[in-house]
Amino acid sequence: MYAPAPQRAGTDPWVERAACRDTDPETFFPSAGRSGDHDPEAPAKRVCARCPVSRDCLREALRHEESTGIWGGLNVRERRELLRIAASLGAADPELDALLTDDRLRLRPQQRERPAYVWFLRHHGWGPRRIAGALGMTCRQVEQAWELAEFASLCTRGPTSRAERPPRPRGPRARVAGTDSGPAS
């Protein structure tokens, strides 16, 4: 029995290389909450961390808006945050437009806004030091925000329109249980 993504073997060639092919699927659907020092998500995330197809797996989960389980090393809350960041990239922002015309301005984006701000300025040719000065961030923070924005973009890029979507696979829990009942849509 395989973990979530490899269940799709036969339709997606990448699943043949998944690191979880021989892992108990329940590992990827841990119970909520921590008990003591034990993080119930840690075992699944350790497997995902060494998986050569984690990007494909994560993209698949994002495309199908999987609402449970660890996919590509991320839980549902982390996947939603990635989708939020991806949606914020390139969004219109008068403050940023003003900064392009007057780089003496200083902005102080909130933590959650930083990836989109850095993304915007990098795509207008600004270097890390200049961005750091304008946004009140360190160069390291700029680099981290850029990496996060790039990751969100890469994981959500591709054929995502409903017309291009393949048939929705059976829900993970249903697949684990070996039933034919599909997920609630």
- Interface of this chain with ligand SF4, residues 36 to 65, rule: CB under 6 A: 47-48, 51, 53-54, 57
Is 5 a binding residue for ligand SF4 by CB under 6 A? The answer is yes
Distance CA(3)–CA(71), nearest Å, equals: 10
Q: Is the separation of the CB atoms in 6 and 23 below 8 Å?
A: no
- Among the listed ranges 16-24, 30-38, 139-147, 164-172, the one in contact with ligand SF4 (CB under 6 A) is 16-24
Report the chain's C-alpha Rg in angstroms.
Answer: 19
Is 4 a binding residue for ligand SF4 by CB under 6 A? The answer is yes
Is 171 a binding residue for ligand SF4 by CB under 6 A? The answer is no
**Termini Cα distance of the chain:** 25
Is 19 a binding residue for ligand SF4 by CB under 6 A? The answer is yes
139 annotated ligand-binding residue: no
Identify which of residues 78 and 93 has a Cβ nearer to ligand SF4 in the complex: 78
Is 152 a binding residue for ligand SF4 by CB under 6 A? The answer is no
Distance CA(100)–CA(94), nearest Å, equals: 10
Is 18 a binding residue for ligand SF4 by CB under 6 A? The answer is yes
Could you list the residues that contact ligand SF4 (CB under 6 A)?
Answer: 3-5, 18-20, 28, 47-48, 51, 53-54, 57, 71-73
